[in-house]
Each structure stands twice: as C-alpha cells, then as structure tokens.
Structure 1
Amino acid sequence: MKQEAEYRLGWLLLVLVVFAGIGLRWPWPADEPRFALIAQEMVNTGQWLIPHRVGELYPDKPPIFMWAIAVLLWLKVPLKVAFLLPSALAGLGTAWLTVDLARRLHGPKVATWCLWLLAFTVQFSLQARTAQIDMLLVFWVTLGGYGIARHLLLGPAWGWYCLGFAAAGFGVITKGVGIIALFMLLPLLWHRTLRQNMGHRGWLGPLCLLAAIASWGLPMLWYAAHSHNPEAMAYRDNILFNQTANRYVHSLGHRQPFWYYLLEVAPLFWLPLSLLAPFLVKPWWRDRAKPALLLPLVMVLAILLFFSLSPGKRGVYITPALPWLALAIAPYLEDLARRTWPGRLMVGVAWALPVLLLIAAFVPKVKAQLPAGGLVFPLATAGAMLLALVLTRKQPPWRRWGLALAAFWAGFGLLGGPVLDGLRTPRDMMADVASRIGPQGLLALLDYKEQLALFADRPVVQFGFHSPMDAQRAAARDWVRQGPNYAVMGPKRNLQSCFALTEAQFIGRKHSADWYLVDAGQLVDGCEAGVTPAPLYQGPNYGLAGH
C-alpha cells in the first residue's frame, strides 16, 4: 500500500473508531452520568460559572469539560450525542497535533506510522470514546507540548510558544494537572542548544499561562467573594487547594503502589506501544542527545513519574503520555519491522483478543447478564476482528493490529452500546419508580448516584453528596413524614436502620447495591433520634424521561 493511501486509511479508521456508536447509548457510570447531568443542569438553570449537581455545588472539577457538553445541549444537540462529542473531537485534535509534529520533524512516512500507532493504542481509543475529562486534558497537554516543541525544535516560533503555555493554562482549568504540558521544558536544564533557542522573550509564556487560568479563575473568585454563599467559598477553597496540591499529596481514593502504572496499567492499556518500547531502549539511549527524540521521551518519563509519586492513581491519569510515546517510537518502526519478535508479538496479541472475546461470551456469568440476542455483539465483533486478521495476513504488523482494533471498536460501538445500555444505566429502574409513585409523587434520593437523578422523570431532592449518612437518614425521615406522596429511594445498606424493608419495596439491583423505594409507612420509630438532618437540595427536571 502506498504511503499516501495508508495515511488516508489511518484517518478513516480513526474516525470510525472515535464515532462508531455515538448516539446509540446513554451515559454510563462511573463518570459519564455526572458530567452529562451537570451540563444539562447548566442549560436548564442558567448557572454556568460554577457547576451544580442536583442543586448542590459540584466542588471537584473546574467547568471546562461540562461547558463543552452544555454548549452542545444549548445548541439542541441530543444528549446521546452531546455527552460523547467533546472527547471524540479532542481525540481527533490530539491525533492531528501529534501526527503534524511527526511530519515536521521526521517526514510524511514517519507521520503515517505515528498515526497508526497512536490511533489504535488501546487507552487512546478508549478515552476518545468515553465522556470523561481526561481526553480533553490530553488535548490541552498535547497542544501545550506541541506549541513549545514548535518553538524549541522548529523555531523560533513565539506565537506557538505562547499558545503552548496558554493551552497548559486551559488544561489547568480543565483538570488541575494541565500544568504537566510544561514538562516539555525540562530538557532546558541540561541541554545547552535548546536553552539557547529560548531567547529573551521567554517570560511571555508564563504570562499566557496565567491569562488562560484567569479567564475562568478571576470570575469564579469574584463570585465566591461577593456571593456571601458559604458553599461558593468552600468551592473556591476546594478547587484552589484540595483538588490540586492536597489531593496530589494526600489522596485518599484509588491508592496504589508506586509501580502501579508501569506494571499493571501500561502493559495492557498501552498496547501496542508497550510491546514495542522495550525493543527500543538501546536505540533510544544511543540517540538520547537528539532533541527530536529527547523532548518526547522526557514528556513520557516525567508524566509517568509525576503520577506515580502520588498515592492516588487511576489508569486514565497517564493517558497524556501516549502521544509522546507514539512520537518517540514512530521513527524506529521501519527498523522494528525488520526484526522478528516485535511483529510476532503484535500479531499474536491481535489474534488473542478476539479469541478471549469469544471465550468471555460463553462464560456463564457473562452470558446470563446479556439480554436476549445479546450474544450477537461479542460473536459478530470477534468474527470481524478475525476476518480482518485473515484478510491482512500479508500486511505489516501495525496495519493488521490497527484493522483488528478498528473492527473491535466498531463492533463495540454499533452493537455493544445498545446491547449493554440496559445493564449500564438505571433507565428501566427509574421508569418503575415513576410508575410506583405516580405523577404527583415527590422523590428524594438517599446516598444517590448521578445516573439515578439523570434518569428520573421529575425533579429530585437529595441531602448533600458528602453529608454524613446519619444526617442524610434524618433528612429522609423528615422528608417522608410530610405526606403520603413523599418517597425516598436508597440502597438497602443505608435504609434498613430506619425503614422496614420488604420485597414490595425492592426496586432492583444496580451499581453494586440493592435499591428500595420507601415512604412513611415503612418508617421505624427512633430513626436517627437527636441527629441534625442534612440540608435539602433539589435539581431541575433533566428531561430524559421518554427519550
């Protein structure tokens, strides 16, 4: 296949990977319902500056990603499309930046290889198809590094340099850690030639960084200072301190050992890059002084070290390293193709994936959860992957891998999304709740999940996402006492001490909990006596019922 045709095919398959299935499923836990709900709440209430979640300030993240979804909703894009589109577009933008930099540094052939390596890396494809903040963060980090690299390696280019710092700033107000884009500057500490390329206008970069952060930070600070709202001031303090340095150093969630990313995440989620990188340790060491290799490798190593030092770890955190690793591997792909084992490993793993999918489809526990006709998804997807591998048996390993992965994501999006939607969302359960309490019923959620509020057919009340559970139960006690049409939905573990639960109140099992719907008729005497009830918050009607 000619290089130009391979380049166009790579982009065509990447578009397929990113967009296959958009519009065919609703938001899935853990993070997607939260951001979709907050974005819909922005549109419905007109409160855009600070995010709200079911009437309560959402203190954990700045609003950039939620704004992206909310703008699409405001433009009347259906939620099934709007909640996934920002990540999809960020994925395509990230790929374009990476491939363009590869072309400028190494030529069109290496740019094509870089495209194929990045587009079909498991974690990159996954995040581009997932409505989490991280893909948008990856775009900002990549744009930041791209701008600085354009100046240091291909400059002087002060406009790109300033844009790189501004992108890092927008990354900060997207998800705090956007500052990692500036890891691109670390080689200046020891590389004299790169340091000479900086010039006397380097101070413009930090100024652009601060200006980008201030574009949202200053209005938020002004609002917090003048609103006389304790929650707004708590939001300010949480965003400025707890969600940055304090969360990085003293994270209480997702605690993992130092080597977690290197040994548990990268080997699987960085395929096929994780298969190729070990073969390049010696060539990389030989060429370590070349700036076009040094900068991408420093980005990869610095990002890995930065997130490994924090006790709180999630696999998705290290996704920003992927564009730079693909950029570091692509110039050596031709040499790797002449060696036996790199290609064999890629193709071997590519064959193993559909085989594992077929085996999983017939595991009794998996098969029992699939709806009628649900086996079509794994069988057709595995079949398409196997067919792609058979038809490309004379093609280079990276092309065979890419076609197999494209077949997987197309099958997952077009078939898997609709099949799994009923399992991953509480749509049917919330419809049952609506029928039980009737059109005049008033619903409160105890220990609620965002997806429950999102799929409710009416505005719901909640008692504070972080309120102590005894205070939430006391609030639920007072709520149901107000009348016969007041009901509370909550998990068994948190209801059973205050309500007499029977099979009649059971709604269903979702998200690792048994959910019950109760009213004053099931209230037990002495429920949380003497406990101050938690505050009440009410969200809008999110408007998904009947869709």
Structure 2
Amino acid sequence: MNTAVHPSQSRRELWLFLLFALVVIGAGIGLRDPWPADEPRFALSAKQMVESGNWLVPHRGHEIYADKPPAFMAMQAVAFELTRSWRIAFLLPSLLAALGTLLLVYDLARRLWDRRAGLYAGVALLCVFQFVYQAKRAQIDPTVTFFITLANYGLLRHFIVGPNWRMYWLGCFAAGLGVITKGVGVLALLMFVPYIFARCLHWNGVASTQNSAWRWAGGFAAFLAAIGLWLVPLGLAVWLDPSPDYQAYLNDILFKQTAARYTDSWDHQQPPWYFIGVIASGWLPLWLTWFGTVPAWARALKARDARVLLPLAWAVLVIAFFSIPAGKRDMYIMPALPMVALACAPFLPAIVETRWFRALALLVLVALGAVLAGAGLHAWSGHWKFANDLAEQRGFGGGAALWGLLIALGAWLLLCAAWFRFARASRGLVAGLAGLWLLWGVWASPLLNDSSSARGLMHDAGGIIGPDAELGLVAWKEQNLLFADRKAAEFGFVKPAHLQLGEAIRWQEAKPDSRWVFVLADAMAPCIDQVKARYVGHANRREWWLFRSDAVADACRGGNVPAPRKEVDAEAE
C-alpha cells in the first residue's frame, strides 16, 4: 500500500493549519487597546518613535526608557506606519512572531521525522495556554521566542539535518537579532552544549564537518553583525552626542539590564522551584503527553538519537538558567516551549490515541468547563460577594456581561466534551481550546478594554477639563499618557512623585485658569485638598483625581512639596 503523501496535500495541510492558527491567535485584534503591565509602555515608546523620528533610543515621556532594547517597539512603529491603527499595530508583531514560530516548529519536525510529526508539533504548541496567551498580548516574549526558535532552526538544520553552513550562519544571525530584541536571545547558542556532547560521543544523526574552522567562525561574525545593526548606530549616536542621558542609557542597557539584572535581581522575586508551577498551569495540555513522551524520550536517548537529545537538553538548560536568579516571571521560559513541542513531535500521533490520554483530555474539558460555568453562574446569582464587589470596582456594574462570558466559555468546553466524547476527546480538546480563545478575543477584549486600558478614564478626564484646557500628569502610568486626548505635560516618570508634583504646581501657576493636573490619589497629600479637586475614577487598581490651582495648599505653593515618609512607587503595577 502506498502511503506517500503528495506535496500539494502537505502544502494544503500546512496552509490550513496556519489559517487555523491565524484565526485562533488573531481573534480580537483591533478590538482592544494596550493593557498593563507592559503593553502600554511599549506602545507609548513606539508612538513616540513615530512622532519624534527617533527610532534608535526609546523614550517614555521625555525620559529615556532603558529597560529594553528598541527593536520590539520599532516593530510596533513599523506596523503602525503600515496599518495606521495602533489597535492593530501594537499586537501585530506578536501575531506574526507566533505564526512564524509555529511554521518553524512544523518544518523542523517535518525534516527531522516526517510531515505528520510536523503537524502534531505545530498543533501541540498552538494548544499550550502560555503560548497562545502571550501571542495574544503585546509583550516582547513572543518576538524573542521567534528569533530564538529561528536560531534553533538554523542550528539544528546544520547540526542534525546538515551540514548546512548557510543555515548555521542564519541561526547565529537570528540569535543576534534575539539579543537586540531582548538580551536573552543569546541563549539560543546553548544548543552548542548538547551538540558538542553528542558529537564527541558519536550519537546517531549528528552531522560531521571537517576543516571548517573559518566557517564556524563565520557564525560568530553573523551573531555580532546582527547585534551591530543596533549597537553600532547607538555607539555613533552616543559618540556624536555624549550627553549624560545617552551615556547612562548605554551603561544601563548593556550592563544593568543584562548581567546586573541576572546576578542581582531587584524585582519579581520567586523561589528556585517557581517554574514548576508555571509549567503545571501554563504548559497545559502539552505536559499531559509527558506520561507517554518521557518513556519514549528515555528509549530515544538510550538509542543515542540526537534528534531528541539536542532540543530537549537545550530546553532543560534554558529552564535551569532562568531558575538560578531570584527574579522570575512566568513568560521567561516561553522560548523553551517550541523545542519541547519539537521533542514530543514523533511520539504524539500514537500518544493522543491512547485511552489514558483521551481520558485526560476529556477530564480537562469537563473540569475547566465546569469551573468556568460554575463560577459564572455563582457570581450571576449574586451569592459570590467577592466577585461582584470586584466587578463593581472594575466598572462592570452588576457584572452580568462578565459572568455571561464565563458561562459561555464553560458551556463551550462542556459542549465539546459532550459532542466529541471519549472516542474523539483529543480532537475535542483542540476544538474546545480554540473556541475558548476565539470567545476571549472577540468578547472579553472589548468588554474589559475600558477598565484595563485607561482609555475610558482618560476620556472622562478630558471631558471634565474641557477641550481648551491644558493637562499635566503626576505619578502617571504609561497608559495615562498614551490615552490622553491631548498633548499632555509630564514631569518625569521615575522621578519621585513629590518632585513631579512640585514641578506640576509651578507649571500650573503660570496659567492657573487653563491648566489642570491629573494625579494619583496617593501622591496628593498633604498638598492637594480633595474637597476642591475633582474625582476622575478608578482604573488599574488606582484612584485618579484632577485639580486646579485653587486646590493647592498655601504651604505647597511655588512647588514646595515635602517628601513623603513612603515614596509613591511609579514603576509598580
């Protein structure tokens, strides 16, 4: 019997898979604005790039934003120039990066094993909660995951499928692009560790190369060339304009935000075992297959199969790398996901048809559906006081629309469980998760937008002060400046709030009749009289006010604002 698949059928399967992924990940684009914590600051920096023409050094207000290289913000800015819509542009890089990552994993699994393994690797990755959740957000991590996966793709095509020096150079160049997107892009080069191990011990499938020292060195040159695309122009800019701000930025981005942040983390403190919990929740349902893939991995490693060793060992090294420092966030290990899915790929077709996996898939559908629907019904009935109080605080009134969303999500999952039943539970799980993300994108995005993005808050602020007034911001967050309905004055971001308030008072006193100051409630005392100020609203777990010059206490006039005992944390989210 001829089991060969015609190339046109393979291409059709790939295009259908990518179309399916586009719908799942892209649902909701254009229906919401940037949400905290990170999305508004990246979108704000991108917006300022477009407005100022400075694409080399990102800014947050008038201050330089030194936490991340500018590559991701520049991609958002390019997306805006192409679409002329920030609602689309700020999410477009993540969408394209996710689709690119899926394509790379599919093609690499196809080359290492067969077309079926490629399709299962792609679908498995698309089903992972963390992958889709991050792909539907405007974080840097999906983009750096793409560049790291592209680097792994090139390296593995050389190390295993090869030798293929062009792919090797591409992999090293992609690792450099990962570095200028987020410093951890260099982790792609950890693939050399299992490769050298496998080559020295003559594992099966490792490509052999001889008399190629200059070609190996070419990879290092490609890596540096990619980094130089940003670092050389930056160095020239600092040399031509050796201002203290640029000097501080160069030192901050090259040292403080890389080695110093890793060795002495100052935020997001977590224990060494933190990522175990992240994998248990965020990597569902992929890790459910490990009951079958772990024994299969053991057999493959015993058979000295480099196709399994290299991606799997690399993923373990990445997770170990991020487990060492005290500072950890769930998305840090996202770049390891594609290689884990790749290592699972050849074993998935058999595993998903086993009785035990179908039972687990059905259990996930029923349990998750019951929890979501039950929570929605319980809150809708009015008996869940905490949930209803939270909905009231977030501006949802009685919360009926929010609880309706939860009920719909749960009902869809339960419907998939009932329709596909045990015999086709694996397919039911894929359908259930796809529907969940579709509903989240088209229903939750517009529902949660005003309370999450601060667009509604800033619209209300503009309505209070009127179209002809000027607006100043104190102790502001990025979303406040991003969604201000006019050009707003700001007095620093990382600067202590009492110093910002002092500058704002002096700015306001120059035109007391037309200038208003938008301020965080915690930054008002002891200088601003709330009785004379105007309450704007609650957003992003904060209370916001507006005041005119007559609300300033006599002791604080001229900007004489005393330092508080506890400074307002402008960076906290």
Q: Does 1:168 align with 2:181?
A: no
1:494 and 2:523 are equivalent in the alignment: yes
What is the rounded CA distance, in whole Å, between the counterparts of 1:355 and 1:530 in structure 2?
54
Q: How does 1:257-406 map to 2 (within 5 A)?
A: 257-262=271-276, 264-288=277-301, 289-337=304-352, 339-361=354-376, 362-363=378-379, 364=384, 365-367=386-388, 368-369=391-392, 370=396, 373-393=401-421, 396-406=424-434
Kept after mapping to 2: 8 A contact 1:267/1:275: no
Change beyond 3 A, Cα 1:301–1:278: farther
User: Map of 1:34-183 to 2, 5 A cutoff?
Assistant: 34-183=41-190
Please report how far the alpha carbon of residue 378 of structure 1 lies from its aligned counterpart in structure 2 after TM superposition.
2.6
Alpha-carbon RMSD across the aligned residues, in angstroms, is 2.2
Q: What's the offset of the Cα at 1:196?
A: 4.1
Alignment equivalent of 2:461, drawn from 415, 433, 438 = 433
Q: 1:482 aligns with which of 510, 513, 532?
A: 510
- Residues 530, 498 of structure 1: alpha-carbon distance in 2 compared, 3 angstrom cutoff: closer
Matched residue, 1:542? none
Task: Determine the structure 1 residue equivalent to 2:221.
Answer: 207
> Cα distance, 1:467 vs. partner?
1.1
1:459-488 deviation line (CA, Å, top 9, x unaligned): 112222211233223223322322222222
Residue equivalent to 2:566: none
Displacement of 1:401 in angstroms is 1.6
* Cα distance in structure 2, aligned partners of 1:366 and 1:6: 44
In the alignment, which residue of structure 1 is the partner of 2:236?
222
> Is residue 423 of structure 2 the alignment partner of residue 416 of structure 1?
no
Contact 2:160–2:207 at 8 Å: present in 1 too?
no
Deviation at 1:253, TM superposition (A): 0.7
1:447 to 467, 472, 475: 475
Q: 2:136, 2:195 → 1: CA distance?
A: 36
Q: Does 1:14 align with 2:21?
A: yes
The answer to whether the 8 Å contact 1:97/1:142 transfers is: yes
What is the TM-score when the length of structure 1 is the normalising length?
0.92
What is the CA-CA distance between 1:329 and the residue it aligns to? 1.2
Please give the secondary structure, in 1, of the residue aligned with 2:216. Answer: coil
**Match status 1:238 vs 2:246:** no
Residue 531 of structure 1 and its aligned partner are, at CA, apart by 6.9
Determine the C-alpha separation between the residues in 1 that align with 2:350 and 2:143. Answer: 33
Letter of the structure 1 residue corresponding to residue 282 of structure 2: F
SS, match of residue 46 in structure 2: helix
Aligned residues: 530
Instruction: State whether residues 446 and 463 of structure 1, in contact with CA within 8 Å, keep that contact through their aligned partners in structure 2.
Output: yes
C-alpha distance 395-96 of structure 1, shift in aligned 2 (>3 A) = farther
Per-residue CA shift, 1:221-266, capped at 9, x if unaligned?
A: 111122132211111111110111011111111010010001x211
Q: 2:171 aligns to what SS in structure 1? A: helix
Shift of the alpha carbon at 1:206? 0.7
**Residue of structure 2 in register with 1:254 after alignment:** 268
Instruction: Please tell me whether the aligned partners of residues 195 and 310 of structure 2 are also in contact (alpha carbons under 8 angstroms).
Output: no
Distance (Å, rounded) in 2 between the aligned partners of 1:433 and 1:530: 24
Name the aligned partner's letter for residue 123 of structure 1.
Answer: Q
Shift of 1:179: 0.4
Code of the residue aligned with 1:78 in structure 2: it is S
Bigger drift between 205-214 and 221-230 goes to: 221-230
Alpha-carbon shift at residue 109 of structure 1 (Å): 1.3
Distance in 2, matches of 1:530 and 1:82, equals 40
State the 1:385 CA deviation.
2.7
Q: Give 5+ residue unaligned stretches, structure 1.
A: 533-547
More displaced 10-residue stretch of structure 1: 205-214 or 345-354: 345-354
- Tell me which moved more, 26-35 or 85-94: 26-35
Using the alignment, how far apart are the partners of 2:486 and 2:561 within structure 1? 31
For 1:173 and 1:531, locate their aligned partners in 2 and report how far apart those are by CA, in whole Å.
41
Q: Does 1:456 align with 2:484?
A: yes
| Aligned position for 1:523 | 552
Give the secondary structure class of the aligned counterpart of 2:160.
Answer: helix
Give deviations 1:179-202, integer Å, cap 9, x for gaps: 011111111342224484474321
Quote the Cα distance in structure 2 between the aligned partners of 1:510 and 1:218: 41
Q: C-alpha offsets along residues 403-435 of structure 1, whole Å, 9 cap, x if unaligned? A: 111000000011111111122122222122112
Separation of aligned partners in 2, 1:118 and 1:126: 12
Shift of 1:381: 2.9
Change (3 A) 1:290 1:479: same
What's 2:498 paired with? 470
Separation (CA, whole Å) in 2 of partners of 1:388 and 1:306:
39
**Secondary structure of residue in 2 paired with 1:471:** helix
| Structure with larger RCO (C-alpha < 8 A, sep 6+) | 1
Identity across the alignment (%): 39
Deviation, structure 1 residue 43: 1.0
TM-score normalized by structure 2? Answer: 0.88
1:105 positional shift:
0.7
1:331 deviates by 1.3
